[in-house]
Structure 1
Amino acid sequence: MHILVINSGSSSLKYQLIDMADDRVMALGVIERIGEEMGSITQKSNPDKWPDAKSVEHRVIPNHKAAMGLMVDKLIGEDWGVIDSLTDIDAVGHRVVQGGESFSAPVLVDADVVETIRDNIPLAPLHAANLAGIEVALELFPNTPNVTVFDTEFHQTMPPKAYLYPVPMDLYTDLKIRKYGFHGTSHKYVTREAAAFLGKPVGETDLITAHLGNGCSMAAVKRGRCVDTTMGLTPLAGLMMGTRSGDVDPALFPFIAQHRKMSVVEVDTLLNKQSGLLGICGLNDMRDVHAARKRGDEQAQLAFEMFAYRVKARIGAYLAVLGRADAVVFTAGIGENDDAVRAAACEGLEGLGIKLSPERNTTREPGVRRISTDDSPVAVLVVPTNEEMEIAHATQALVEA
């Protein structure tokens, strides 16, 4: 079975074509600056065989329909093509950011699903492009199963005491204001991978999963099911991130609006795009923050300490929520590659059963690895995430069922 995984953003489209017989990525690509003056498409074909070979083309890409057509041309083209025709694609899996309370599992796309996703757009207006990608795919692949996989799905097992906000209940009943959580596809994938590494059934595994990248979230996973997560109604909540503030006093909104003469939209933009690491030290990439720290930049050092402190605090909170944990799992760009962040986040947690091995933590090895000491009651793992593969497997399971 060949499955095409599509992640449609507001001005970009990422895709992977995967051969499910051996989980081999046949092609992967990204189309950027859709709707702008000049766009681009970059594709790698058979990246396992030729990891450094890629095709890059610049052209005007007016909309998502044009982007999807360009993707198809690349997949079946003479130079970089990996299939003979569209009929070689057996199913299409779509990443959808917000499923609201409507979806607790992947679903086959039909007219009702499309309208329900449209109804949920007010909960995540910046991700309306997810629906645009689905609608174009239905035109291009009318006889091929299309499946939606939701970022919020994994978190739908949270109990009301975790997902409800202590605000008037009519805000929930009328407007569906509650914690939804995001990065669920990643948390679900690493949960399964961590359980396999530990040699335990997923349903008997308790974890704290930390997806740390430009966007960051953590989840408390009890017996393989999410019982709490850091992101909320929107991805702004929770941890400090590259440009997002994470949790702040809600009274900051009116205070900033009053004293800076800013609108609600402007304050929202400030907290989403001008805060986090960027707001503290002017840099939003942790690699750049480390470089500045080495030069003696005190603001960069502060940003690093604030970031790691918030991860550490949430580890402690989720240990309290779970009562026990088999492992703390680090994943995503920072989580997988930044030993300094992992060390700072775990520092001083020996009393909670977390003993990091400095040697293992600084050793780079592919795949899942343990970076805690052998006698650590709570294992600390690094698990590379693969959201596209998770979407592909969910799509395959639903289509075959």
Structure 2
Amino acid sequence: MSPRAFRALRWLNRSHGPALRLTFAGLMAVTTFIITGRAALAREAAALCRGDRFATAMHRLRWYLTHGWTARMMPGDVPLFDPTSDMDPGTVHALADWLAGRRGLHADLARLYVLARQIRDSRDPADQQALMQRFETQASDLVRDIAYPDTRKRVAGKSAPQFTLDQARAALSAIQSCDLPFYVISGTFLGAVREGAFLAHDYDIDVGIDIVDFDEAKLRHQITASADLAYINASDHLDLTRDPDGLWTGQPQPALIRVMHASGIGIDIFVHHPDGDLSWHGSAKHRWDNSAFTLADYALSGLSVRGPADADRYLTENYGDWRTPVTSFNCSTGTPNVSFPRNPSALAEQLRTALLPGRPTDRQVAALILWQEGYLHRTGDRTTFRFGWI
């Protein structure tokens, strides 16, 4: 991330005065109404600014710009963003009404996000079942030409940006300066154990915190107070389960907070949850299970850190043969302990990634997950989509 982008994140997430909030609320309302023609969407955009949620408001505006009549004027990729995030049901209905008049693949995929949100919000089993059938029908129309990926071709990992030792040390030191009991996990912990240093091919820093110690408001405050950190976003993990009345429902759990260091290095903070004799962490699209662990002290490139005490067990669960270095890694396909939530919103995101032009590796991984998890099926000369957990 460039220094300009870092400064923009810092500005968007700081506290803004009443005059600036009202000014931006008016601008957001007018712009949103011009793009969508929906008063409810304009009111919601203004409310975000009045509530000092400038980052969410700007994400929403960019999404409207790339999906409305202004799309042809917008350079670059369409943002990966759930447009229904934090919307109330009435506003979601207005969004669905606007999208009904839009055409093209982007609009078709956006409608899946809306259906996913309506499925999650429904409290009537029959209505929810009808919405899920609509989701299946619309998704099947989109995936008809998706073939099973050629697994003979190696699924590559992310391309690592420049990740110097000094930058990594500075980023980890900055997050350690927050007054919360973080510990290193995943690739960052692997580097500490196997090499005593950050992995040369890594592209971010992974830290964990137990749910009993997690205080989101305190974390946001300390990130804002640090001159070297910028808050990006947070995502919850949701896994739907069926209740006795036949309704698929679930409670979102705090999962991942993404932070950016001034050097451009990303820091992923994973909230760890107990589940019997397991400790799990995840994101909106993933869940990783480990045996419950205690912590011990380690050295990482001269820094004192905490990490899982039984390093061999933890790393074997995460990577299998963790002693053999690899230079290309994907968290969706390279971790034996990964699973994927039964969550229509997460599926809408997987479908979007698999269908839109973009990085071939991301498309291949998303398609592979959809096939292997039983959502895609070949029927005759076309592929169809079904919720495998209904």
TM-score (norm 1): 0.25
Where relative contact order (Cα < 8 A, 6+ residues apart) is larger, the structure is 2
